[in-house]
Amino acid sequence: MTLPLDPLLALWGEPLGEPTRRPASLAAVSTDSRADLNGALFVPLVGERFDGHRFLETALAGGAAAAVAQRDRLNPEQLEAVVALGRPVWLVDDTLLAYQELGRLWRRQLGVPVVAVTGSAGKTTTRELIRASLACLGPVVASSGNENNDVGAPLTLLKADATTRALVVEMGMRGLGEIERLSRCAEPDVAVITNIGTAHIGRLGSREAIATAKCEISAALRPDGLLVIPAGDSLLEAALAACWSGRVQRVALADDELAPGTPPADLEGRLVAPSPASDGDTERPGAERPEAERQAPQHQAAERLEVEGLPPMSLPLAGRHNARNLLLALAVALELGVAPAALSDLTVEVPGGRNRRLQLGGVTVLDETYNASPEAMLAALDLLASQPLAVGAARYAVLGTMLELGESSLALHRQVAERARNLGLEGLVIVDGGAEGAAMLEAAAGLERLVRVARPEEALEPLLGWLRPGDALLLKASRGVALERLLPLLQERLG
């Protein structure tokens, strides 16, 4: 990084410190006093449990070329000590806002296309699909882990360098105004909204409010930029009409049901199922069979997505919901000039606990333990039901609770359990000892095998009595349930 000092002077005015010690430019921006700060600008952030200003003097004495400090965090003695170190220090009202301004400055200096992604579900998966679809352009920098908040967005932007050819910034939120701040930090060329669901409805109160919050991604979208959304959502269309008058591209699968009166899809895909096993030995869930007839499933080819004008492509991630996510990514890639031929064979790696498929002792485990919203739960159950299995093999699920759903929580948990029952799964383990678990237990009544436990580890016992080689098992819950604790136990006993 080479960030000139002039834009900072224009932004924050004259710094404290001796003019003779001013560097001509900054080699890095860091919020970590333990990092190599040689030639860097140190930005001390303030959190609920920490205050980086405690390390301001240490950072400047340890090689930082300059720093930003929050006015209300330095007493007169500290301020005198900082000035005595002879490094430029800018006093600002909010160092987090200053950090976001630095991310925006660097993004402007690089001048590469920036893609912003938000939505109630599928943000991370879509982010990785976009990253893969842009890879042919050159190095792509994208958000990683949980870097989708006020700190993560500028951090992602500041990771880019002169070799970067595109940036993909994921944007999460827990309330109104948050995505608007992230949009103003990233100033995207293309923005993507994956869907409008019920995640965080306990905080925002309604899906209408969620739609408004997600549409904040357009706040700093370039006037000639593009917004990519799923077709057929009247709620999203209404929220968007109130804040964005620029270009919109809508995507859908050919057999998606679009709400009446909504615009048609601009980019439409057709999902082509894999050829059935040659011996015709796959079946839907619910078939009766003796234990001795259990056998490993036959290998199945991946589903294909067909889009007019593009070469047929295998789905890099299974499921209809991921086919829609792929369409969103394809729209972004085509907008940014990727040749259609480069999109035929994408390789996508997603973080642990998302879209992960394991083979444990002949059992296919769909690891979706990282997080869950009602829409993501329903999509994962549909994916489980679509798994091609050998004759007599069974489908099971371990489902935990979903958080931050407010007054809608019980109804949404019932809806998920009803889907599990209607899909005819052979067994369900519910991980929750509270009211949500009770609601799920009631709604799933009628399943052949139905167990409720309080902790993830307690799901192991019923599963060991049920699972046989060839079966499929889904694990999904919100992050707070820590359902991933069940995985090593299954690996030890099944693997």
Q: What is the pLDDT along the chain (495 residues), one digit of tens a residue?
A: 888 888 999 999 999 876 667 788 899 999 999 999 999 999 999 988 889 999 999 999 989 999 999 999 999 898 989 988 889 999 999 999 999 999 999 999 999 999 999 999 889 999 999 999 999 999 999 999 888 999 999 999 999 999 999 999 999 998 899 999 999 999 999 999 999 988 878 888 899 999 999 999 999 999 999 999 999 999 999 999 999 999 999 999 999 999 999 999 999 999 887 665 444 444 444 433 333 333 333 334 468 899 998 988 988 888 899 999 999 999 999 999 999 999 988 888 877 777 888 999 999 999 999 888 899 999 999 999 988 888 899 999 999 999 889 899 999 999 999 999 999 999 999 999 999 999 999 999 999 999 999 999 999 999 999 999 999 999 999 989 999 999 999 999 987
Per-residue pLDDT, 287: 39
The helix/strand/coil state of 113 is coil
C-alpha distances (whole Å) from 153 to each of 52, 179, 238 are: 19, 10, 27
Q: What is the pLDDT of residues 434-483, one digit of tens each?
A: 999 999 999 999 999 999 999 999 999 999 999 999 999 999 999 899 99
Per-residue pLDDT, 205: 85
Q: What is the pLDDT of residues 84-102, one digit of tens each?
A: 888 999 999 999 999 999 9
State how far the Cα of 377 lies from the Cα of 394, in Å rounded to an integer.
19
Per-residue pLDDT, 20: 64
Name the residue ranges covered by the structural domains of the chain. Answer: 3-94, 111-273+302-343, 356-494
Q: How far is CA 304 from the centre of its chain?
A: 23
pLDDT more than 70, % of the chain:
94
State how far the Cα of 329 lies from the Cα of 145, in Å rounded to an integer.
19
State how far the Cα of 39 lies from the Cα of 5, in Å rounded to an integer.
12
* Cβ(366)–Cβ(483) below 8 Å: no
What the block records as the tokens of 144 is 């990683």
* Cβ(114)–Cβ(169) below 8 Å: yes
CATH architecture for segment(s) 356-494: Alpha-Beta Complex (3.90)
Residue 393 contacts by C-beta under 8 Å, 6 or more apart in sequence? 294, 295, 297, 468, 470, 471, 472
Q: With respect to CATH, is domain 111-273+302-343 assigned 3.60.21.10?
A: no
- How many CB atoms neighbour CB 107 within 10 A? 23
Beta bridge partners of 358: 365
Residue in 172, 111, 167 with CA at minimum distance from that of residue 140:
167
State how far the Cα of 409 lies from the Cα of 492, in Å rounded to an integer.
34
Q: What string of DSSP letters covers 5-68?
A: SHHHHHHH-SPBS-GGG--SEESEEES-TTS--TTEEE---B-SS-BGGGGHHHHHHTT-SEEE
Fold of 3-94: 3.40.1390
Burial of 62 (C-beta count, 10 Å sphere; 0-12/13-18/19+): middle
Phi, psi angles (nearest 5°) of residue 419: -65, -40
To the nearest 10 degrees (0 to 180), the angle between helices 320-335 and 123-134 is: 40
Tell the residue number behind the tokens 């991946």, with chain if given.
Answer: 302
Alpha helices in 193-319 (DSSP H): 201-204, 207-214, 234-241
